[in-house]
Structure 1
Amino acid sequence: MRRTLYLIAGFASLVLAGFGVVLPLLPTVPFVILAAFCFARSSPSLERRLLEHRVFGQHIVRWRERGAISRKGKRAALVAFAVSIVLALVFSPLPWSLIPIAAALIGGTWIWRRPE
């Protein structure tokens, strides 16, 4: 039963990663890393396919070995945070528009401090 849940979660993560390829503010790589985590507990062959993927495999391996995020990934995340802040300031009244700012400061600081 647990294995089936991990398998479903892995495929759901891949679907979200697929949306992230098309939607600019939705991240792709974190969902692929999550899918690899889930597949490691449910389907070693699917995990292997992700680890050997020409685009995403290196990101998964770097994350697992050192908790690393590429400089390009860091920049993309910070740009997404900045866009979210601008959208919140334009479309949300105070104090609600402060929530994305706080999330961006916390998340952005954590992301920027990760090794490359």
Structure 2
Amino acid sequence: MQAIKKILFLLLGIIALAFGLAGTVLPVLPGGPFYLIAAFCFAKSSKKIDKWFKNTSLYKKYVEAFLQKKGMPRKEKIRINLIADFFILASIIYVDILIVRIILLSLALYKHYYFIYKIKTIPQENPQTKAS
């Protein structure tokens, strides 16, 4: 049973990593949250894979930065919320079950509360100051 759990976490980690990579390239998909999920899954699946992922530049740029600063830039918070809102709104429109619509709306409202009040907004890094 333990081996199956590790394999499932590994597969989920690989899928999350793939979505994170896509999010790094595509402007409509946030990569950071998927890297966080991948880091969690890899830590649960294998020490070797967890160590590998923690040594990648993706981990250092997205996961470690988030964990150390305990926050996100305002631009990233807005982008994540807008994308999530689009999918939640589409789901609310296409689902005809009232309770599901209420749950989706409640999740959307909680998501906004969480992003505004629980995730600290950190200043956006300015590439010009890095070069100096």
TM-score (norm 1): 0.68
Residue aligning to 2:127: none
1:34 Cα deviation after fit: 1.9
The answer as to 2:17 corresponding to 1:14 is yes
Matched residues in 2 for 1:68 and 1:107: separation?
A: 15
Counterpart AA for 1:99: I
Higher strand share: 2
Q: 1:4 to 1:100 in 2, by over 3 A?
A: closer
Higher helix share: 2
Q: How does 1:70-89 map to 2 (within 5 A)?
A: 70-89=73-92
1:111 Cα deviation after fit: 1.6
Q: 1:100 to 1:19 in 2, by over 3 A?
A: farther
1:89 Cα deviation after fit: 4.4
Matched residues in 2 for 1:84 and 1:5: separation?
A: 26
1:84 Cα deviation after fit: 3.0
Percent identical among aligned pairs is 22
Matched residues in 2 for 1:88 and 1:35: separation?
A: 25
The answer as to 2:120 corresponding to 1:115 is yes
1:108 Cα deviation after fit: 1.7
TM-score (norm 2): 0.62
Counterpart AA for 2:31: T
Q: How many residues align?
A: 111
Q: 1:3 to 1:87 in 2, by over 3 A?
A: closer
SS of structure 2 residue aligned to 1:93: coil
Matched residues in 2 for 1:46 and 1:88: separation?
A: 34
Matched residues in 2 for 1:86 and 1:18: separation?
A: 25
Please list every run of 5 or more consecutive structure 2 residues that lacks an aligned counterpart in the other structure. Answer: 122-132
The answer as to 2:43 corresponding to 1:37 is no
The answer as to 2:110 corresponding to 1:103 is no
